[in-house]
Structure 1
Amino acid sequence: MRRSLAITMTGIAFTFGVFVGLLIQLPVITLPTNDPRDGVSFHIEELKAGHLIDGQNELNNVLDTSNTQDDKGKIVDQFQPAGHRKQLSISNPLSSLRPSRHGVVFARNNGTSDYIEPNTLQTGRIINHYQDQKQSKGSLHQDGLTKDTQAKITNADLNVVSPENIVSEIFWTKNVEDMCPSGFNNGDHTSWKDKVNSVKIVKMGEGCGRMQNRMLTFRDASKACARYRLNTDQMQGEIYSYYLSKLLKIANVPPSSLKLLDSKSDQWLSVRPEIANAQWPDDRVIIVTKWIDNLKPSFIPPEFRGEDKNLYPSSELGKKSKDSLCDLLQWSDLIIFDYLTGNLDRVVNNMFNKQWNDQMMNSPAHNLERSTSGALIFLDNESGLFHGYRLLEKYSSYHKSLLNSLCVFRKSTASEIERLHLSGSIGDELHKLFTDNEQFHRYIPKIPRKNIQVLQQRVDDIYNQIQRCRTKFS
């Protein structure tokens, strides 16, 4: 009897213990870490499972991480200082998650996220530093800022705080242009030509893309890419595309100049053996282009990736960071430049290869790099105006879809397009600019009349697109 009672009591005690344990047990959904860095993040498996919907906009916690891309395109961690943490919001699926110190990397749209300026909302309103303004005297706006404070922030701290200060009709405002990198100016071009013509070359080696190209090092340690081609139209495409960018006042093509090879001259004397190894004959013209250090890959903005791509005047532009706006400003020039030249080796390369790789539009754009200042560098334009024109029947639909997606323009670029449309003189002006600036121009044939006709027609196409945008948005 006693034995049965003991067994019964033991069973009851065990059951009660299990019940109590279940009541007090808390779910463990985060991974511990000894990482001493401050920050809040969530279990990475929850993210992989798809519980985050648009992670950058749906989180409400402050994360101590941001994403960058290394040279191989792999997403890596970059921890920001405390003053540069991102304001994000939490959605209901994550409300039960406990914060941990386990780092999470959020994928970005294009390798460089829309960075939110310290203490600002994406709409451009400062919220943290001026939060105490809610208690101050005067008329308050919905965000708790006085009119005087808001005007002060608008004029002094942000430059761009609303769509009206980003786009005027269909043009980027001066505010936007002033805050973005300016690219190469006329002084850069002049100093580069002087260097190419006079400064001694002390080193020559591989490292500039194709096998026939060579990297040159000048006596002042600056560098250049020397382009040597047996194919004449590749030389024409590169140098005429460069002068077309100057004609349009597009400042993203690196300074380039023609140079006549003379291995017996004092300028080339130090690298005569290397010239012989490269099998470069004397009295052949080469194109010498300024070498830009520390370039990084550049990605196609989300506005130009999908089937419904567009860059239109919109309130959504008011949510963009400074870096994203500057990218879009430069991309508006890039689309025009590549449409005019018929360039196949940049965005069209990604668009065409999407049929075999559906992630191709998320890959870096070909022959497009980013400098340390944030300026986009339009590289290797040798297919422009010649080889690209021969293949327009096959690839023109890609160029056309990009042009049709564009309705925000740099005003100076649009003005040049309008002038060249009305004058019909782009062929004459391009040839004159080239011959006036290149002493060895006679070594490069003129652009054939047929190609000039195609170029003029493409100027007219862009002009018509600008007028359609005016009608739609002005």
Structure 2
Amino acid sequence: MRRVDAVIMAGLAFTLGFVLGMVIQLPVITLPLNEKHFENTDPKFGVRSGSEGSARKQLSPDNPLRLLKPSTHGVVYPQNNGTNSYLLGQGDYGGSQHASSGTSPARESVIRNRESAERPAVVDGVLWSEATEKKCPGGFTEEDQKSWKSKIDKTKVVKLETGCGRMQNRMATFKDAVRACVRYRVNTDQLQGEIFSYYLSKLLGIDNVPPSSLHLVNTMDDRWRTVTGEIANSKWADDKVVIFTQFVEGLKPSYIPVEFRDEDRKLHPRQDLIHSKGPEDLCDLVQWSDLIVFDYLTANLDRVVNNMFNRQWNPNMMNTPAHNLERTSGGRLIFLDNESGLFHGYRLLDKYASYHRTLLDALCVFRNSTARAIERLHHSGSVGEELNKMFSQNEALFNQIPRLPQKNAKILQQRISDVYDQIQKCKKQYA
């Protein structure tokens, strides 16, 4: 009998010891395992930091779960991915491989398929989709150009000061406080390059170039009389043609997208990069596709080619702001200083053509309207005639500087065909 009692007492002692041991080893923080606990739109977790009376903390975007103090027992919290749903896999907390993403495999698949169906296409073949373009800020309009021409024809210049680049360029301030960059050049071809590049952008429907127009310096004109002293100090000749370009306030530097920085540069429609970009980055790429086409046609060597060429002395050159390219606070790129286009750039094609070609070869996504304009001009073969006609119809002083020469028109027409061929090549590759 004593032996039986001893066995019973030993069994009771072992059982009590085991239960007591399990209680002591329980973690300070416990997480519920039932998904119903997490479906509340205002989820909360009970948190203790060693004492029973700790306050419960509410989770929100301003108070993410990862900011809560971890348990002294090392309990791993699920990550807050910016949603109000915290779904853990079935079984022990932290035991599911999907716990950190907050989504079960089945739910993750449903969400992924739903997002894919709801997300507008970024590209349509080799063209930026309409949905993508609609999210981008608008550029300069035909009305902006008309308004600008009216202003410089009628409004008095009250201040002329250094600015807007090197040499004899000046910043002009009108009576209504609006400002303009005034381009003064001794060499006519630099004025031609600036003004004809502007009208080419209009012919292509590229709206990133600020409104520009020819004007005549005339110290006897009432619009100039207030600044005759500044004109003399600038060593401007009277009755000299200048270009007034609208000054855009609040511009910031613009950087070259990563797609075009390295030797393996490429922007093609099947890249995962395109589909992982946010709206602002996508709009940059939409505008950069126009910039590469525009600079290829004009052979502008004073923008991205400037960065590429100088990389041989400065390896970080492609990580610095693009030359003569700025952006507005709303994300619109502004193509500045195009005076090397169509004239000076064409004379230096032997030296710089490879840089332009490298950028064009890297591009396989185009803006729809730009691609249509290229196709039309390629088939018509009349870009020179159209450009000269647009210039003479819009500029009262068109006879003050030479028209686009036939030689330059032929080079431009060939470069339009180059862009057209690149578009066709991309279509065949990504049909």
- Into which bin does the TM-score normalised by the smaller protein fall? 0.7 to 0.9
Q: Tell me the amino acid that sits aligned with residue 336 of structure 2.
A: L
Residue 347 (structure 2) pairs with residue 390 (structure 1) = yes
User: Is the Cα–Cα contact under 8 Å of residues 61 and 82 in structure 2 kept in the other structure?
Assistant: no
CA distance in 1, matches of 2:364, 2:231: 48
Contact in 2 for aligned 1:133/1:145 (Cα 8 Å): no
Hey, what's the Cα distance between the residues in 2 that align with 1:269 and 1:422? 50
Structure 1 equivalent of residue 125 of structure 2: 169
Residue of structure 2 aligned with 1:228, choices 184, 191, 198: 184
Structure 1 residues 150 and 303: CA distance shift in structure 2, 3 A: closer
Q: Is the contact between residue 130 and residue 145 of structure 1 (CA under 8 Å) also seen in structure 2?
A: no
Report the equivalent of 1:217: 173
Tell me which residue corresponds to 2:421.
Answer: 464
Please point out which of 203, 206, 215 is paired with 1:250: 206
Residues in 1 aligned to 2:65 and 2:130: alpha-carbon distance in whole angstroms = 29
Q: Secondary structure at the residue paired with 1:357? A: coil
Deviation at 1:127, TM superposition (A): 5.9
DSSP 3-state at the match of 2:312 = coil
CA distance in 1, matches of 2:369, 2:210: 19
3-state SS, counterpart of residue 373 of structure 2: helix
RMSD between aligned residues: 2.7
Q: How many angstroms does 1:211 deviate by?
A: 2.4
Change in Cα spacing, 1:356 to 1:187, as seen in structure 2 (3 Å) is: same
* Correspondence 1:339 to 2:327: no
Shift, 1:277, TM fit: 1.5
Aligned to 1:208: 164
Match of 1:72 in 2: none
Residue of structure 1 equivalent to 2:85: 131
1:233·1:386 contact (CA, 8 Å) conserved in 2? yes
Give the AA of the match of 1:223. Answer: R
Match of residue 251 from structure 2? 295
In the TM superposition, what is the alpha-carbon distance from 1:410 to its structure 2 partner? 0.1
Q: In structure 2, what is the equivalent of residue 401 of structure 1?
A: 358
Distance 1:87 1:369 in 2: 40
Q: Does 1:316 align with 2:270?
A: no
TM-fit CA distance, 1:130:
5.8
Cα separation, 1, equivalents of 2:423 and 2:112: 40
CA 1:199 to 1:397, structure 2 compared with 1: closer, same or farther past 3 Å? same
Asked if the contact 1:238/1:384 (under 8 Å) is kept, the reply is: yes
The residue that corresponds to 2:9 in the other structure is none
Q: Is the 8 A contact 1:131 1:144 kept in 2?
A: no
- What is the number of residues matched between the two proteins? 344
Report the alpha carbon displacement of residue 380 of structure 1 after superposing the two structures with TM: 0.4
Q: Please say if residues 134 and 145 of structure 1, whose CA atoms lie closer than 8 Å, have aligned partners that are also in contact.
A: no
Write out the 4+ residue segments of structure 1 that deviate beyond 6 Å after TM superposition.
Answer: 84-88, 132-135
Offset from partner CA, 1:120-157 (integer Å, 9 cap, x none)? xxxxxx9633637999xxxx75256498x859x93xxx
- C-alpha separation in 2, matches of 1:446 and 1:133: 69
The verdict on how the C-alpha distance between 1:302 and 1:283 changes in structure 2, with shifts beyond 3 A counting, is same
Taking the aligned partners of 1:431 and 1:83, their CA distance within structure 2 comes to 58
Matched residue type, 2:268: Y
For 2:396, the equivalent position in structure 1 comes to 439
Larger radius of gyration: 2
Q: CA deviation at 1:87?
A: 12
> What residue in structure 2 maps to residue 271 of structure 1?
227
- Change over 3 Å in CA distance of 1:452–1:441 after alignment to 2: same
SS state of the match for residue 308, structure 1? coil
Asked if the contact 1:133–1:144 (Cα under 8 Å) also holds between the matched residues in 2, the reply is no
Q: Structure 1 residue 237 and structure 2 residue 203: aligned?
A: no
Q: Which runs of 5+ in 2 are unaligned?
A: 1-59, 67-73, 75-79, 90-105
After superposition, residues 32-47 of structure 1 pair within 5 angstroms as none
Question: Could you say if the C-alpha distance between residues 296 and 83 of structure 1 is closer, same or farther in structure 2, counting changes exceeding 3 Å?
Answer: farther
Indicate the residue corresponding to 2:284 in structure 1: 327
Q: Deviations over 1:407-456 (max 9, x none)?
A: 00000000000000000000000011111100001011011111111000
Matched residue, 1:142: 108
Identity %: 55
Indicate conservation of the 8 Å contact 2:286/2:367, yes or no: yes
In structure 1, runs of 5+ residues without a counterpart are 1-81, 89-95, 97-125, 155-160
1:299-351 C-alpha deviation (Å, 9 max, x unpaired): 11010111111100023311011111011000000000000000000111111
Change beyond 3 A, Cα 1:270–1:319 = same
Amino acid of the structure 2 residue aligned with 1:375? R
What is the letter of the counterpart of residue 131 of structure 1? S
Preserved contact between residue 351 and residue 398 of structure 1 (Cα < 8 Å): yes
**Partner amino acid for 1:179?**
K
User: 2: distance between equivalents of 1:345 and 1:420?
Assistant: 25
Letter in 1 for 2:340: S
Q: Secondary structure in 2 aligned to 1:142?
A: helix
SS in 1 for 2:108: coil
CA 1:453–1:263: 2 relative to 1, 3 Å: same
1:31 aligns with none
2:245, 2:345 → 1: CA distance? 21
| Letter aligned with residue 181 of structure 2 | C
